[in-house]
Structure 1
Amino acid sequence: MKNKKALLYLHGFLSSPQSLKAQLTIEYFKQHYPEIDVICPQLSNTPAQIKQQLVAIETQYKHALIGVIGSSLGGYFATYCAHLFNIPAVLINPAVYPYLLLANYLGEHTHPYTSEIFQITDEYNQLLKSFEVANVTNLSIKAYIQTGDETLDYRQACQKFSADQVCIIEGGDHAFQNYKHYLPEIADFLTSK
């Protein structure tokens, strides 16, 4: 369809398009917004390649892309996309300073979905830092944050984003409990921009 719209979904660290939130997003938009394709790429394990992937997606879907949803590390990349491509973004328990967190995970890792072996190094984290957007207050962002996130300190997102950009939910966890219940308002935010 010529006038088809597209939504980008970015999964988190060591995750994939097969993750529960990605699949729920795809199913929801297929059912309620059939005119919108959900693009959910398997992100590379290296920041330089991720940057290339995102630019290639934006180039391919330049006139169709209505927004981006990102979970955890994908939320960090979604903020970058919102800034670079001037599109609205929804962040789910976003990583705010992933290069600091991953400094504790230097060494070899195996991706559980792709079985790809990769290294987290200081250089890796420096490249990751290059995605950081210093001023986010002028971006069209809605961050959904659960205070029970056991992986990320939710207060970092509360400090990074303005109060009107943040929806704080008591409890929950890093997987973001009851995600599907928030999809109607997420879709409304992205399609009303």
Structure 2
Amino acid sequence: MSTDKVADTEQCKKTILYLHGFLSSNQSAKAVETINYVKEHHSDIDIIAPLLPSRPDEVVKLLNVLLKQYRTSLIGFIGSSLGGYFATWCAAQTSKPAVLINPAVKPYALLDDYMGWHQNPYTKDEFEVTADFKQKIKSLEVESVAELKILALLQTKDETLDYKEAEAKFAANELEVIEGGNHAFEHYSDYLPQIIKFLNSSTC
């Protein structure tokens, strides 16, 4: 490969941020499947899957750092569950597309059932869900999403979140409601070609 071609390849490198959910990690099954799929099929794309902190104020700090760091190569976001909520916020901040996998629409409304101390089963990090924690999550809500480029993938048998909330929230966006499934999103790997195609619309 010539020097010019190497330079072109580096210049055209693209970045997607994958954001995991609550009490999950960047080593979750979907995160690993996404990374492996992109490595195999899209050599021009980097998947950045950060380990999100347990506390929402620290999440915001990290996301702001990442948005700045990858601002010239970022083409979009993938977010699962609470990560979908964060991905929606990122999409609003950057005007970049986002794919949401069984996204949480109003996670702050669910936190009353999670008040108290928790341990992330992946990282063993311990943290406390408080009223302040809940308010900080609420502060990231994006009220109007109609103008954002979003693909929401929902499974009707999600045992954690009511898919109808996301169906209503993202009615003006690209939306796919799949009968059955679960919160982890069954057969996720089958949707990866569609997900990457949706995000990989920019050219260089």
TM-score, with length taken from structure 2: 0.92
% identical aligned pairs: 53
- Whether 2:24 is the aligned partner of 1:24: answer no
Matches within 5 A, 1:114-193: 114-193=123-202
Does the residue aligned with 1:53 lie in a helix, a strand or coil? helix
Q: Distance in 2 between matches of 1:83 and 1:166?
A: 18
Aligned partners of 2:148 and 2:173 also within 8 Å:
no
Structure 1: 4+ residue segments shifted above 6 A = none
Q: Distance in 2 between matches of 1:108 and 1:139?
A: 35
Q: Distance in 1 between matches of 2:137 and 2:34?
A: 26
* Structure 2 residue corresponding to 1:76, chosen from 85, 89, 101: 85
Cross-structure match for 1:47: 56
List per-residue Cα deviations over 1:119-178 (Å, max 9, x = no partner): 000110000001100000000000000000000000000111125421000000000000
- Whether 2:42 is the aligned partner of 1:37: answer no
Aligned partners of 2:149 and 2:173 also within 8 Å:
no
List per-residue Cα deviations over 1:11-37 (Å, max 9, x = no partner): 010111111100110011111111111
Number of residue pairs matched?
193
List per-residue Cα deviations over 1:55-114 (Å, max 9, x = no partner): 000110000000000000000000000000111000000000000111211000011111
RMSD between superposed Cα atoms in Å: 0.9
Cross-structure match for 1:100: 109
Q: In terms of Rg, which structure is larger? A: 2
Residue identity matched to 1:101: L
- Whether 2:17 is the aligned partner of 1:8: answer yes
Aligned partners of 2:118 and 2:128 also within 8 Å:
yes
Deviation at 1:2, TM superposition (A): 3.9
Unmatched 5+ stretches in structure 1? none
CA 1:164–1:139: 2 relative to 1, 3 Å: closer
Q: Distance in 2 between matches of 1:163 and 1:88?
A: 14
Does the residue aligned with 1:45 lie in a helix, a strand or coil? coil
